[in-house]
Structure 1
Amino acid sequence: MTGTANETSRPVIGITGYVEDASFGVWNMRSALVPYAYVRQVAEAGGQPVLLPPVGAPASLVDRLDGLVVAGGGDIDPALYGAEPHPEVSGVRDFRDGSELALVHAALDRDLPFLGICRGLQVLNVALGGTLVQHLPDVVGGRTDHSPAPGVYGHFPVRVEPGSRTAEALGGDTTPTVAHYHHQSIDRLGTGLRAVAWADDGVVEAAELPGRAFALGVQWHPEVGDDPALFLSFVAAARIYAGGEAADTLTLRR
C-alpha cells in the first residue's frame, strides 16, 4: 500500500508515455508526451494522472503509485518474444519496450491495479512470456477493420465473457461496441493470463490475470470512447489500493 491517498484525495495513476517528435506552438522537437484522452479519462474517473516517460527508471516509482496504465503506441520488438520481424512491424522503440516491461513486472509484483490499453495489453502478454500476431490481416483473411486507415478507428462490437473481471469493470456489458486501432494482437497467451473477450473473427480483445484485484488489458481504445465504466472501475480499484476507502465500495459510479 502506498498511503498516498485519503478519503478525499485522488489515487495517483501512472500513465506510460511516448518519446517522439512533436509540434506545438512554433516548435517541432523531441518530446515526452501521452495522448490527452488517457489523461482526461483518468482525471474524470477521479484519479490524479502522472506521465511516466520511458527514460531513467520509471519502474522504481511503482511504490509511489496507486495504479498503472500502460498506453498504446508502436509495435513491440518481435525479438522480445522470439520472432523475426514481419515487414509490417513499425514504430519499435527499444527504450520504451524495456521501460514498460520493467514497469509491468514491478506492478504485478506488488499487485498494483493495472490497465493495459492496446499496446499495453500486448506488453502485459509479452512480459508474461506470451507471443503476438505481428500483422492481423495475414490471419483474418485480409480483414482490415481492426485498423481501417491511418488515424481512423474501426468501431465494432466485441464479446466479453460474462462474469469476468473485465465484464464487471464494464458494468456488466458483454457486447460493447468499441474503438479499434491495432494491426497486432495476442497469439500465445502469457503464463497465467486468460483471454476474456474476442472479436467475431476470433481475435483476442481482452485478457486478465485471475485472482488479482485489477490486472487486465484490452486491445481496443476505451480512452476515445463515450463509456467511462472501465476507467471508473480501474480508479476505484486504485483508491482501494491506496487505502482510501473500504473494499466493498468497489463499484461503478456513473
Structure 2
Amino acid sequence: MTTWVGVTQRVVAGEDVLDQAWTRFLRHCGLMPLPLPNDADTAQRIVTELPVAGVLLTGGNDLGVCGGDAPERDATEHALVDLALCRHTPVIGVCRGMQVLQHHFGVPLHRVEGHVSPSVTLTVDGKPRPANSFHNWAATTTVAPLRTWVSGSGDVVKAVRHETAPLVGVMWHPERMTPFAAEDEELFRRVFQEES
C-alpha cells in the first residue's frame, strides 16, 4: 500500500517549486510525495479528502515575519498546521518548516550567524550524527507544547517535538545528505507510517 505524504513547495517567481531531492529522499523512505499548492483552501482539501499520511513542510523562502515575500506560502502552511492539529495528522517541518511550527506556537525567531554549512555534527538523543545547516533565522528557546529535542551552537534550537501531537521539526535538510542518513530515514518512516 502506498503511503502518500503532502509536501509543501517553495515559491520562486510566482511558481510553486519542489526540489527533486525530496522525491528521491521520500521514495528512499518508502513514501510517495504529493506536492501541495500554495493555496490554503486547495491544500487543506487535498489533505482532508485524499489518503495522505501526513504533511511535510519543506525549506526555502523566509517567513513574512523574517522579511520573506511569499505570504501565500505562509498562509498555506499555517492553515495546514491548524488542520493537522485538529485531525492529529503527522507533520514534519524541515528548516523553514520548523520555523513555521515555532512561529505557529509563538516562538520568536532571530537572525543568526554561522549556521550555513554542508557538514556539521549534532548530538541527537545523546549520540553524535552528521547533519547540515542552511539557515539564517532560528530560535534559541521554545515554548510548550513544543519541546527542544536537539540544540546547536549558540543555543540555537535544531529540533523540536510536540508534547502530545505527532509533530516534529528539524533545522537540517535530510534530503541534502549524501548518503541519506539512517536516522532521518527512521524518523520519517516512524512519523508518517507508524503515527498515521
- Alignment TM class, shorter chain as reference: 0.7 to 0.9
1:192–1:221 distance in 2 versus 1, CA, 3 Å = same
Shift of 1:59: 2.1
Shift of 1:90: 4.7
Q: Does 1:12 align with 2:27?
A: no
Cα RMSD over matched residues? 1.9
Q: Which is higher, the Rg of structure 1 or of structure 2? A: 1
Q: 2:58 aligns with which of 49, 58, 71?
A: 71
1:156–1:109 distance in 2 versus 1, CA, 3 Å = same
Partner residue, 2:47: 62
Instruction: For structure 2, list consecutive stretches of 5 or more residues without a partner in the other structure.
Output: none
Q: Does 1:184 align with 2:137?
A: yes
Instruction: For structure 1, list consecutive stretches of 5 or more residues without a partner in the other structure.
Output: 1-8, 22-29, 79-88, 138-143, 148-152, 163-173, 243-254
Partner residue, 2:173: 221
User: Over residues 144-202 of structure 1, what are the superposed CA-to-partner deviations in whole Å (9 max), with x where a residue is unaligned?
Assistant: 2x12xxxxx4311112244xxxxxxxxxxx22121110011124424310011011332
Shift of 1:51: 0.4
Structure 1: how far apart are the matches of 2:190 and 2:63?
30
C-alpha contact 2:40 2:80 (8 A) present in aligned 1: no
Structure 2: how far apart are the matches of 1:38 and 1:190?
29
Structure 1: how far apart are the matches of 2:145 and 2:95?
19
Structure with greater strand percent: 2
Partner residue, 2:188: 234
C-alpha contact 1:33 1:53 (8 A) present in aligned 2: no
User: TM-score, normalising length from structure 2?
Assistant: 0.88
Residue correspondences, number: 191
Structure with greater helix percent: 2
C-alpha contact 2:11 2:61 (8 A) present in aligned 1: no
Q: Does 1:50 align with 2:34?
A: yes
Partner residue, 1:98: 75
Shift of 1:61: 2.5
